[in-house]
Amino acid sequence: MKPTVLLLSVLATLSGSALAEVSYEFAPNFIQPPPGKEQIGNGHGEIAVDAAGNFYVSVQNKGAGIQVYGADGKFVKELALPESLHGFVIRKDGDEEFIFGAVLGEQRVIKAKLDGTVVMEIPTASFPAGKVNLKGLKLTNCDVAPNGDIFVVDGYGQSWIFVFNREGKFLRVFGGPGEPLKLANTHKIFIDRRFDPVRVLACDRGNNRILHLDLEGNLIGVVADKDLRRPSSASFHGDLMCVAEIAGRVSVWNKEGELVADLGANNMAGQTNTPKVRPQDWVQGTVTSPHGITFDNNGNILETEWNVFGRVLRWNVKK
């Protein structure tokens, strides 16, 4: 590993006239790979945290669609979920937490217990045929609204956003490549619960912008569309949002849509937006291709990369 400055601090003007400091400290080598492995494995997915503070990282390894790590970063177990699980969230349904995931290669959505037991699926046949192109569905992420409705995006397809009820019955579809939104490679979507009523937050990567939509698909506004590096995923903690930008950055934004922290930026040619950066070329605290991201329960940031070897980086919030 090459040395780097581990403390990243940003001063930003928040709402009003007060000047507030948002600081994060890079925590090297947080994730400890499974026994017998030097790296975690082929990464092209997401990372999420459960209520107990455990981390779930999707890997494209047969028989181990998700690896689970404790709050201390130590490997706990593997969940035998589909290896093409591309985007997922952990959400409560009643008193229990579940994994809701978009399975890219199998063109379906799954709901699974935290032990990996699949309890519900939305198969290809449940999607309206008129919105599926000749190459099939290319589902990249999903999230769950407070009423249990499941929102799914065809992010590697035509960027349609499909809505199903909690039992998996199709309700409606919006978005897509045409007017009025003209979505393109809308890589992941999330339900933004910082607002009342809640909103859909869309990482519209092909247009290099982040949008807010209401739950019917109407545009509320552009969250950000300047100086982004192809936003791929997002997570929320309090009033903050962190964003994984696949062209080489992790960013943090306040509720007003202002940038308050800029972490791990990589300006090296050939090291971003690619899964092929080798471990010997990794730089501590510098990202390559951020693909998934989460706040933990204390506001620390963990980011997983599009990388054939697998890589997770962590920044701890400075109180």
**Domains, the chain:** 7-318 (2.120.10.30)
Q: How far is CA 270 from CA 230, 276, 301, in A?
A: 15, 9, 25
CA angle 41, 43, 44 (to 5 degrees): 155
Instruction: Tell me the average pLDDT of the chain.
Output: 92
The average pLDDT across 140-148 equals: 98
pLDDT of 90-132, one tens digit each? 999 999 999 999 999 999 999 999 999 999 999 999 999 888 8
* 9 — pLDDT class (breaks 50, 70, 90): very low
CB-CB contact of 23 with 9 (8 Å): yes
DSSP letter for each residue of 141-203: EEEE-TTS-EEEE-TTTT-EEEEE-TTS-EEEEEE-SSTTT----EEEEEEETTSSS-EEEEE
pLDDT of 16-67, one tens digit each? 333 356 899 999 999 999 999 999 999 999 999 999 999 999 999 877 899 9
CB-CB contact of 253 with 241 (8 Å): yes
* Whole-angstrom distance, CA of residue 124 vs CA of residue 137: 8
pLDDT of 256-297, one tens digit each? 999 999 999 999 999 999 999 999 999 999 999 999 999 999
pLDDT, residue 21, reads: 62
* Pairing label, strands 170-175, 186-192: unpaired
* Whole-angstrom distance, CA of residue 214 vs CA of residue 208: 20
pLDDT, residue 7, reads: 37
